[in-house]
Homo-oligomer: A and B are copies of this chain.
Amino acid sequence: MDRKEFRDLASPAEAREAIDSLSLEGGVDRVSLAEARGRVLLARIDAELDVPGFDRSNMDGYALRARDTFGADEADPARLSLVGTVHAGEEPDVTVAEGEAVEISTGAVMPEGADAMVPVERTDEDAGDGGDSDGDDGTVDVLVRTSVAPGDNVMFAGADVAAGERAIGPGTRLTPRDIGLLSALGREEVPVRAKPRVGIVSTGDELVRPGEPIESARGQIYDVNSYTIAAGVEDAGGEPVLYPHAGDDPEEMERVLREAAAECDLVLSSGSTSASAVDVIYRVIEEQGELLLHGVGVKPGKPMLIGRLEDSGPRSDDAAGGSIPSTGESAYVGLPGYPVSAMMVFRTFVAPAIREAAGVPEPASATVTGSMATEERSDQGRLRLMPVGVTTDGNGDRLVYPVDKGSGATTSLAEADGVVEVPAETDYLEAGERVDVRLFSPDVRPPTLLGVGEDDPTLNRLLDDLENPRYLSVGTRPGLRRLRNGVPDFAVVAGPLERDVEASELGRWTREWGLIVESGNPREIEGLADLVAGDHRFVNRTTNSGLRTSLERAIDALADERDVSRATLTEAIDGFDLGLRAHESPARRIIAGSADVALGLRETADHLGLEFVSLGGQPVRVLGALDRLDKRGVRELADRLED
C-alpha cells in the first residue's frame, strides 16, 4: 500500500459513513441529581411512588366532611366543632367525625374522616356551643360560609404522579424541569449515557504546550489544536482526554496511541502529516485494527485518515463501576494540522458523530443562514470547507464573508465564526446567495460590530467598552478597500488618505508618531536627517499602514528640501523595505536587539520603556459605512467617540 497516494479519494459521504460505522458510545454513568443537568437519560424512569403520597390539603383552612357544608353560605354558615390541628409534616392525631372540623395547613395530611377542606378565608372561628346552647364552654366552633363538594381543595394521593406512571423517557436530555420531576419522585441517582471519551494525541517536534517556554529560533510554535479540539469535544458532549505530547519519536507516539486506544472511545490526532508520524499510525492501525479510509475529497482535509483500533481489555477507570465493559475497540480519526482546517474537519465530520454517541442533538442555533457578502470562486471536484465570518448589514440581515488568511493563520480563528460547505459541483457563489453557516460551536456569537483598518492603542481601549466587537487590524489601505466592498461597519484610517472615501466620519483623534529608539537614545537620533545619515538598523511598518504613509510623506518633504529623489533617501535607510504588520512589532525588534530605530507611536515607546523621537501628529479617523449608521453597534461606537 502506498501511504502517500490519495489518488482514489473517498467521497465526503463515504467518510461520514466510515465514521458512523465506528462505535463511539461510552456506556452508562450513574449520576446524582446535582450532576444530572445536561446529561442524557439512558432508560425510562417510571414513578415508583405516588405524588403526593397522601391526601393533601391545598390551602390553609379546615378539613371536614363535605356533606356537613351542604347548603351553607355567607348568611347561613355551617357550624362545626373544632377538634384538632394538623401541620405540614405531621401525622394527624385526630379524625373527623360528622359535625367536626380540623384546622389544617397547606401541604398537611388530610385527617381520617375528612373528604374536603375549606380555605380559612371562607370561615370564622367562634366560641363553641359545646353541643348545647349554654354558650362559651372553652370549646371552639368553626363557621363555614360556603359549601364544598367531596375532594374540594384536596390533592389526592397519586393525583399529581401515580406510582407506575411513565415519568421521563429514555434519551431525554435533563433540564431543570426534568430534575424537578425526578426530585418529586425521590430519585437521587439516574442512569445516563456516559460521555464518549475522546483521546487527543498531539505529535510534531515543533509543538509546545501553551504555558511552557518557546524557542522561536528552533521553529517552535504553540500547540493550538489540542485545547481547541478538546473544547470542541466538550461542546459536542464528549469528555476530552489530553495525552502527553509525543513529539516525533515513533516509539513514544506508538505507546501514546495504544494507551489512548485502550482508554478512549475515539482517538483524534492532528497534524501527523510527517512521513514518520503517518508510518507509526499506519503500523499501529495495521497491527491492532483496521484502516477504513485514507484520503477524502474535501478541502481542507484531504489526508484525513479513519480507522478502528482494538484495545486490550475492559477499562480500568470505568466511571460506571465497570457495569458496561469496554467495547473492545476505539475509533481513530486523523485531522489536518492547521488549526482552522482541523477545526473545520472536526466540526463537519467528527463532532456530529460524538453528538450522536452522546445523545446530545445539535442545537438549532448552531447553524445560521445568511447571504454571501461578496462573490466567491471555488475549485470544483472536492467538497470545500470554507471558513467564514458572520456579520449583519444595515437592515439586520446576516452577511457571510469568506475568511482566507491561509489555513496556517491562527488569526483566522479570531475572524471565522463557522464553516460553509461548498459542494464539489459548485464553482461559484454569487454575492447575495443564501448559504448555511455551521458555527464552530453553538456558543459562537457573531460580532455586533465589525471594524477593519489601522492598529491603534486608543482604538483598542475604545473597543473594550463595546459589546462583542470584532476588529481586524489589516492596516489603513486594506481597511478602506474592505469598507468599499461592503462587509465591515466601519474602517479606522490613519495618516493622509490618497483618495476620498464615501463614508461618515464617526470620530477622530490625533496620535503622535515618529522614531522609537533605545532607552537613552545612544545613537543620538533627533529626526529623519539622522536616520538617513547614520548606519542604523531600521524597522518599518508595511505599506498598508498609515504610519508608513506618513513616514513616506516626511521623506518626500526632506527629499524636496534637499532636491534629491525619494529613493536616494530610502536606499540610505537600512531596512526601509522591511515592513511589519502591527504597531508594536518594530519597537519590539529594538528590545530583541535586532534593530536600532523603529517606526512607531509615542504611546508604544512609553508602553515598552523605549525612547521616542517625534516626527509629528497624525489624525486617526473612524469612518462608518453609510448603510450601517443606524446599526446598534455603530451607534454605540459613535456615542463612545463623542465622549
Contact = CB atoms under 8 A, between A and B. Distances in A.
Contact of A184 (B36, B109, B181, B413): B413
A467 B176 contact: no
Interface stretch (A7-15, A229-237, A372-380, A509-517): A229-237
A528 interface: no
A410 B160 contact: yes
A603 to B, nearest CB: 11
A468 interface: yes
Interface string A35-56: 0111000001011011111101
Contact of A221 (B51, B214, B440, B585): B51
A149 to B, nearest CB: 13
Contacts of A463: 166, 169
A216 interface: yes
Given A54-B219, A169-B464, A181 B413 contact: yes
Contacts of A109: 217-219
A87 interface: yes
A210 B227 contact: no
A34 B186 contact: no
Interface string A213-251: 011111111111111111110110000001000001000
A414 interface: yes
Interface stretch (A73-81, A300-308, A320-328, A575-583): A575-583
Interface residues of A, number: 137
A51 B214 CA distance: 11
Contacts of A161: 410-411, 582
A210 to B, nearest CB: 4
Interface string A165-176: 111111111111
A224 to B, nearest CB: 4
Contacts of A167: 414
A204 B107 CA distance: 10
Interface string A441-467: 111110000000001000010011011
A337 to B, nearest CB: 8
Nearest to A585: B162
A457 to B, nearest CB: 8
A84 interface: no
Given A164-B585, A219-B109, A172 B204 contact: no
A166 B38 contact: no
A194 interface: no
Nearest to A221: B52
Nearest to A223: B183
Given A180-B228, A463-B169, A469-B169, A408 B343 contact: no
Contacts of A417: 177
A409 interface: yes
20 contacts: A47-B582, A49-B216, A51-B221, A58-B406, A88-B219, A109-B219, A157-B216, A158-B581, A160-B405, A161-B582, A168-B414, A170-B464, A172-B468, A176-B228, A179-B228, A181-B411, A184-B222, A186-B214, A363-B365, A363-B442
